[in-house]
Structure 1
Amino acid sequence: MHRRLSQALFTLCISLSCIAVTQAGDVQLAVAANFSAPIPAIARGFEEATGHRLVTAYGATGQLYAQIKNGAPFEVFLAADELTPAKLESEGEAVAGSRFTYAIGALALWSAQVGYVDERGAVLKANKFQHLAIANPKTAPYGLAAAQVLAKLGLSQAVAPKLVEGQSIAQTVQFVASGNAELGFVALSQVYKDGLLTSGSAWKVPAELHTPIRQDALILKKGEHNPAAMALVEYLKSEKVAAIITSYGYTR
């Protein structure tokens, strides 16, 4: 009888293990490049809390939109704007009612050189630099915000010959970090952590110089029946995630 009981307990443990395995799953996540810094911490917390795993791809919002329309396997999309997710929703590419604002971004004028950019951004108006990096305004919302800042300050024509465009905000940061551009407009989150600048020098661009960078997320049609996708969206709304993204200069 003892042997039969042990066998029954062993079978039960195997069954419970199988259930745990089937409950945990992967979620294919498309993320706007500006949000790459907070994702590792969010992924760790999500995986610890749920057992699910993130499989993440980064890119400019416009590029990710094109990939989604072309059948990419993404299940959840974290965009750098609110217009693109709304468009996907209207086109039937997303789960209706799943869209929400997960972060409001901030723009920074940044240089890898310490002391190069002053706290008021006067270096921009002085126009003594050779190259100014921005993300492509047609595909990257942070690039669009940068173009709006230049227009608002009346500098669009003056700096046009000096612009170096990155295909995403991540590539724009690389242009500046490598010294190929003396300064550039980047997401504040890429050069900021816990209230401190992580390197170089920067001017946090006043929010009134560009339209608000409201970043929306939503569940795509391919994730409609994936419990891991549903769990991720709920986790993104948690206070734990709010604390992480705030530490990178975003607001909610």
Structure 2
Amino acid sequence: MLLWATWSVVSASVATAAEVRVAVAANFAGPAAQLAEAFHAASGHTVQISAGSTGKFYAQIRAGAPFEVLLSADEETPQKLIDEQLAVPGSAFTYAVGQLVLWSARAGVVDGDGRVLASGGFTHLALANPKLAPYGAAAIEVLKARGVLEALTPKLVQAESIAQAYQFVYTGNAELGFVALSQVAAPGQAASGSYWRVPASLYRPIRQDAVLLQAGAASSAARDWLAYLRSAPARAIIAAYGYGQ
């Protein structure tokens, strides 16, 4: 509460409004857009969002991309950026804990227990690149835990990001795929198709950390944005999209 009170005072003056350049993990694009609107209404600051894979953002930041804040899909990347002196020490924190789902755009395809994985009654299964995207790595863990990875490997369709994995399923290029809960069950909207909310016991927690990058170290707007993400109003929005905290 103290942090929120401090943020409210610091950000109240629209006269000092500025723009914050934020790299956002693809799974969090929807919540980030809503958070940016609420933050702008309260502070006057504008948040410029770029959504994509955490792995690619890491490479871009190392190459000098002028992002001021990273909302990562994992906790390792922000720490690597701090270790490499590309992010501000002590600024990283977990803003969300992701929820993996197995989803089909068609009703009745995915059952409530994920038994469809063992049935093999499909041709393509989409997932994000496990080397770049934590949700993709989590999907591989689930397939291993269910004992079906070897059998399903020929059917795997690897996407660049979880956003592209969603598109593969949405367009019918894959009958089903592993995506984030926030992509299929937005607040106030009925979930389309069918999905299995994968038990958290089948994969390591997807702790998504935010970090202040060196490009934003001197930006009060960037610091205000990070403080806002830890406020009660922001936490409520994040929880509404199905993220743990």
- Band the TM-score falls in, shorter-chain normalisation: over 0.9
Q: 1:194 Cα shift?
A: 3.7
Q: 1:41 Cα shift?
A: 1.2
SS at 1:117 equivalent: coil
Contact 1:195 1:249 in 2 (8 A): no
Q: Do residues 131 (structure 1) and 113 (structure 2) align?
A: no
Q: Do residues 170 (structure 1) and 130 (structure 2) align?
A: no
AA aligned to 2:224 is: A
What RMSD in Å do the two structures reach over aligned CA positions? 1.2
AA aligned to 1:235 is: Y
Q: 1:196 Cα shift?
A: 6.6
Q: 1:20 to 1:41 in 2, by over 3 A?
A: closer
Q: Do residues 95 (structure 1) and 88 (structure 2) align?
A: yes
Q: 1:118: which partner in 2? A: 111
Contact 2:92 2:212 in 1 (8 A): yes
Distance between the aligned counterparts of 1:20 and 1:148, measured in 2? 47
Q: Deviations over 1:93-114 (max 9, x none)?
A: 1111100000000000000001
Q: Deviations over 1:112-147 (max 9, x none)?
A: 001110110111111111000000000001000001
Contact 1:195 1:247 in 2 (8 A): no
Distance between the aligned counterparts of 1:188 and 1:69, measured in 2? 30
Distance between the aligned counterparts of 2:46 and 2:186, measured in 1? 25
Structure (1 or 2) with the larger CA radius of gyration = 1
Which of 206, 216, 225 is equivalent to 2:209? 216
Alignment of 1:171-190 (within 5 A): 171-190=164-183
Q: 1:159: which partner in 2? A: 152
Q: 2:5: which partner in 1? A: none
Distance between the aligned counterparts of 1:20 and 1:126, measured in 2? 57
Q: Deviations over 1:20-61 (max 9, x none)?
A: 54x110010000000011112101110011111001111111
Q: 1:197 Cα shift?
A: 4.8
Please say which of residues 138-147 and 185-194 is displaced more in the overlay.
Answer: 185-194
Q: Normalising by structure 2, what TM-score?
A: 0.93
- Could you list the runs of 5+ residues in structure 1 that have no partner in the other structure? 1-18
- Could you list the runs of 5+ residues in structure 2 that have no partner in the other structure? 1-12
Distance between the aligned counterparts of 1:76 and 1:127, measured in 2? 42
The share of aligned pairs that are identical, in percent, is 54
Q: 1:245 Cα shift?
A: 1.0
Distance between the aligned counterparts of 1:162 and 1:201, measured in 2? 19
Contact 2:33 2:49 in 1 (8 A): no
Distance between the aligned counterparts of 1:43 and 1:37, measured in 2? 10
SS at 1:203 equivalent: strand
Q: 1:14: which partner in 2? A: none
Alignment of 1:1-252 (within 5 A): 20-21=14-15, 23-194=16-187, 197-252=190-245
Contact 2:126 2:165 in 1 (8 A): yes
Q: 1:16: which partner in 2? A: none
Please identify runs of 4+ aligned residues in structure 1 that moved more than 6 A: none
Q: 1:3: which partner in 2? A: none
Q: 1:5: which partner in 2? A: none
Q: 1:9: which partner in 2? A: none
Q: Deviations over 1:153-206 (max 9, x none)?
A: 111110000000110000000000000000000011100134875210000000
